Chains A and B, each alone.
Chain A
Amino acid sequence: MLTKRIIPCLDVMDGRVVKGTNFINLRDAGSAVELAERYYAEGADELVFLDITASVEKRKTLLNLVIEVADVIRIPFTVGGGITEIGDIEKLLNAGAEKISLNSSIVNNPKLISEASKQFGSQAVVAAIDIKDINGVHKVFIKGGREETKLIGLDWCKEVVDLGAGEILLTSMDKDGTKEGFDLEFLKKLTDSVSVPVIASGGAGNKEHFLKAFSIANVDACLAASLFHYKELEIKELKEYLKNNNVEVRV
């Protein structure tokens, strides 16, 4: 049986890890490569890197990051942030990333998912979807949460799977940075509706939140950032807790 996965997420700007609340107020959390090494040693199951560098040099910084990270860790990692072209995906995967994550670009160009999954396999294509409750409807947001789209969260999740995405990274913007727990209600609906693995993101504040996401919402993986960066929760301690509560994890 597959184990449930614990995934530290590193938002990277110019090689440094940054973290904010509700996508704003960014603060520095150290070197991306050094943090990756730390998480590898501590037993993380995989890592996610989201490049939020806002420069024209972005492509190069992302590729360099992948090369440097692939040199030091021996677990899978996903990389995302502003990827819009098949050629870029190919370079990132060939440099050692296991998966690429697509977000704003697939809203503008859904064909990118089908093209990427056809060429590299669906296991390499993660659809990162940011949702926010607008008057009781979970709407999809893009551009780092700055722009609302017309898309309805659950419908869009199903559509990206039909197009060939092999995994969904679902971030609840309402929960992100709050430490109140994951959006269990939406995540449960999502895992009931799609056949691909789901990564829960946004809201992790303590061990119980992870347990609930796995046992109630039945997600396949949980992602968190600041909680791990600032050592508020150690991965080893979290996994021991989950194991003691009958969640199968790799320890």
Chain B
Amino acid sequence: MIALIDSGAGNVASVANVLKDLNAEYILTKREIDICNADKIIFPGVGEASFAVRQLHILNLFNLLRIVKKPMLGICLGMQLMCEKLVEGNSAGLGIFPVSTEIFSKDKVKVPHMGWNKVEIIENQKLFDGINNNEYYYYANSFYVPINEYTIAKSNHGSDFSASIKKDNYYGVQFHPEKSGAAGIKLLKNFIELC
């Protein structure tokens, strides 16, 4: 059973639709107990970071998500929230990844970073099993996680940034697999079956 965290963000329905395609058992939830009972966690997110952090505190999920030992996949803002510091709204994230998010520079590139971009795999991980290197994924983000020791895939928008990060049981993807056609479905399938 997968706990799909209903963070009130827009992409929850789209992730749920892919889970249905994959015949994956899931529960759309905001409750601690469901997350405790689940085998895996998917944490989608779009919207504003400080608002999302506040929501986690209100729902009493903040500390739980910091210490869970089951595989957890953060998508887009869900990935950024796993970082230590969020420049968007100047808030403290879950602190799983010891990095701070940054903002794309409007002087150099189009912001938001929106559309399909190549994802270069740096480290072979089960999440990218059977996925071609330099496959295209759909992004919609103004903030990014810089390249760090936990980066397992990268993309470029003016400069390189983390497309995917992994530490222990925590996985993050900056792009939206639920909106990335067959390549995205494959990645979610990998998370469900292999991670």
A is bound by B: yes
Residues of A in contact with B (beta carbons under 8 Å apart): 1-3, 5, 40, 45-46, 70-71, 74-76, 93-99, 118-124, 166-167, 195-197, 220-221, 250
B49 to A, closest residue via Cβ: A121
CA distance A121 to B45 in the complex (A): 11
B125 at the interface (CB under 8 A from A): no
Contacts of A1 in B (CB 8 A): 117-118, 156-157
8 examples of A-B residue contacts, CB within 8 angstroms: A1-B117, A3-B136, A45-B116, A74-B18, A74-B181, A97-B10, A121-B48, A121-B140
Q: A76-B176, A96-B13 are in contact. Are A3 and B47 (CB under 8 A)?
A: no
* Cβ-neighbour of A118 out of B8, B13, B48 (below 8 A): B48
The smallest C-beta distance from B163 to any residue of chain A, in angstroms, reads 13
Instruction: Check if A197 sits within 8 Å of B181, measured CB to CB.
Output: no
Contacts of A99 in B (CB 8 A): 140
| Interface segment out of the listed B33-41, B60-68, B105-113 | B105-113
Contacts of B179 in A (CB 8 A): 74-76, 98
The smallest C-beta distance from B79 to any residue of chain A, in angstroms, reads 15
CA distance A79 to B113 in the complex (A): 20
CA distance A1 to B134 in the complex (A): 11
Instruction: Check if B10 sits within 8 Å of A94, measured CB to CB.
Output: yes
Contacts of B13 in A (CB 8 A): 70, 94-96
Instruction: Check if B10 sits within 8 Å of A120, measured CB to CB.
Output: yes
- Which residues of B (162-195) have their CB < 8 Å from a CB of A? 176, 178-182, 184-185
The smallest C-beta distance from A26 to any residue of chain B, in angstroms, reads 30
> Which size bracket describes the interface of B in this complex?
35 or more
Instruction: Check if B14 sits within 8 Å of A96, measured CB to CB.
Output: yes
- Which residues of B (140-157) have their CB < 8 Å from a CB of A? 140-142, 156-157
B47 to A, closest residue via Cβ: A121
CA distance A124 to B112 in the complex (A): 10
B1 at the interface (CB under 8 A from A): no
Q: A74-B180, A76-B138, A123-B141 are in contact. Are A250 and B110 (CB under 8 A)?
A: no
Contacts of A124 in B (CB 8 A): 10, 46-47, 140
B115 at the interface (CB under 8 A from A): yes
* Cβ-neighbour of A2 out of B46, B51, B116 (below 8 A): B116
Contacts of B181 in A (CB 8 A): 40, 74-75
The smallest C-beta distance from A31 to any residue of chain B, in angstroms, reads 19
Contacts of B178 in A (CB 8 A): 74
CA distance A8 to B157 in the complex (A): 25
Instruction: Check if A250 sits within 8 Å of B47, measured CB to CB.
Output: no
CA distance A124 to B51 in the complex (A): 16
Q: A-facing mask of B22-35, CB < 8 A → 1, else 0?
A: 00000000000000
CA distance A196 to B115 in the complex (A): 12
B17 at the interface (CB under 8 A from A): yes
Q: A40-B181, A70-B17, A98-B140 are in contact. Are A3 and B117 (CB under 8 A)?
A: yes
Instruction: Check if B10 sits within 8 Å of A2, measured CB to CB.
Output: no
Contacts of A123 in B (CB 8 A): 46, 112, 114, 140-142
The smallest C-beta distance from A133 to any residue of chain B, in angstroms, reads 26
